[in-house]
Structure 1
Amino acid sequence: MGKRHQRKMLRLMESGEPVRLAVTIGTMKEFTRLAFIAQQFGYAYENLLQTGQGAGVLWLVPDPDPQARTLARENRERYPHAAEGGPLPPLVPEALELLKARMVLDLERQYSAKTRMALVLVPLTLGSLTLGLEFGEDMASVLTVAGGFWAAMTALLSVLFAAGRRSVARYAARLRAAGFTPVTDHDGRSRYVPPSGRLPGHGDPFAG
C-alpha cells in the first residue's frame, strides 16, 4: 500500500471533516487497507467510486459511535506518528474482507446494468471496426473480420458478466451473514448498513 496515500489520508482526517481521497492507480487491496486504517482512527467507510482505469475516490466520514471514538483515542496514543509514516494498528483479515465486500457492491452499483453494457459495447464495436479495416481487403472481409471479433468478445463478456454477478451475490450474502442490512440510498442504489443500523454520519472523532 502506498505510504503517501496513507499519510495524506491521516492528515486530512485530523480536521474531523469528511474526507475525499483520490487514488490515481489503486487496487481493491489498497482501498480496503486505507478504509481499515481510517476505521482505527475514528472514521467510517462511506463510499468508493470509480473515476477511470484503475482510479477511484474513497469517501470517509467521521464515526460518532462511542466505541469508534474510544478506539480512535486509544490508537492515537499507541501510534502517535501514524500520519508521518510511523507504525499502524495491525490489519484484521475479517474486517478487510467485509470492507472489500462493501466496496465491490458499491462499485457494481455505481452504474446501471444498461449503462455498464453501453460503456463496454461502444468501444468494443469501434475496436472491431478498426480491426476489420486493418485486416480486411474489401467490404465483405472487413465485415467478416469485424463481426467475428465482435461476436467472440461479446461471448467472452457474457461469461465475465455472469461470473461477476455470482461474485456480487457471494459478497452480498457475506455482508448479510455479518449483520449488514440492504437499504436504498438517496441515489436509488442498494447499499448495506452496518450492524449498528446507521449509515455513516458526521461528527468530530477527535473531540474530547
Structure 2
Amino acid sequence: MPDAVELLRARITYDLAARCSEKQLRVIASVGFTAASVGLCFQLGADTTAALIAGIAWVALMGLVPVLVVGNRRYRAKYAARLRACGFTPVTDQSGRLRYVPPGRQLPGHGNPFTSRA
C-alpha cells in the first residue's frame, strides 16, 4: 500500500511540475518578481532610495529565474525516472504535454470506447 501511495504521489508531482513549459515558467516568474519589486518600491515610499532598493531586489530576483528553471527541470527528471522505473510509459497528450500512463493503459479520451477488449 505505501508503494501505491508513493507512486500516486510521483504521478501527481510530475504532472504539477510539468504543467508549464520552461518559457511559461520564465514569464510567470518575471512578471511576479517585477510586480513584487514595484510593490516593494511603493511600500518603501516612491523616492530615489526606494527605487534603488527595489531595483536591486528586482535584479537579485531575476537572477534566480534560471536557477528556478534548472531546479524544476531536475525535479521533473527525478519523478519521470521514478515513473519509468515503475513501468509507466511517456505519452504526449493533445496539448503537447508529456504525461505518464500506467502499463497497458492510455490517456483518457484516446481510443474507441465501443471496441471489445479481450
TM-score range, shorter chain: 0.7 to 0.9
Matched, 1:198 2:106: yes
Q: Where in structure 2 are there 5+ consecutive unaligned residues?
A: 114-118
Change (3 A) 1:94 1:143: same
Measured in 2, the distance between the counterparts of 1:146 and 1:190 equals 38
Report the counterpart of residue 126 of structure 1 in structure 2: 35
Tell me the percent identity.
46
Corresponding residue number in structure 1 for 2:69: 161
TM-score under structure 1 normalisation? Answer: 0.46
Q: Does 1:151 align with 2:59?
A: yes
Q: Which residue matches 2:79? A: 171
What residue identity is the alignment partner of 1:113? Answer: E
Q: Distance in 1 between matches of 2:21 and 2:72?
A: 14
Matched residue type, 2:33: L
Structure 1 residue ranges, 4+ long, deviating more than 6 angstroms after superposition? none
CA distance in structure 1 between the aligned counterparts of 2:28 and 2:70, rounded to whole angstroms: 17
Q: In 2, distance between residues paired with 1:157 and 1:180?
A: 31
Structure that is richer in strand per residue = 1
Number of equivalent positions: 111
| Unpaired runs of at least 5, structure 1 | 1-91, 204-208
Partner in structure 2 of residue 95 of structure 1: 4
Q: Match for residue 189 of structure 1?
A: 97
Whether the aligned pair in 2 keeps the contact of 1:125 and 1:150 (CA below 8 Å) is yes
Name the amino acid aligned to 1:152: A
The alignment yields a C-alpha RMSD, in angstroms, of: 2.4
Query: 1:107-162: per-residue Cα shift (whole Å, max 9, x none)?
Result: 223222222222222132122022123335633x2331111111222334443332
1:1-208 map, 5 Å: 92-135=1-44, 138-139=47-48, 141-200=49-108
177-186 or 120-129, which deviates more: 120-129
Structure 2 counterpart of 1:196, one-letter code: G
Normalised TM-score (structure 2): 0.76
Q: Which one has a larger percent helix, Structure 1 or Structure 2?
A: 2
| Residue type at the aligned position of 1:122 | V
CA change 1:180–1:137 in 2 (3 A) is: closer
Following the alignment from structure 1 to structure 2, what is the Cα–Cα distance between the partners of residues 144 and 136?
Answer: 11
- Alpha carbons of structure 1 residues 137 and 186: separation in structure 2 relative to 1, 3 Å: closer
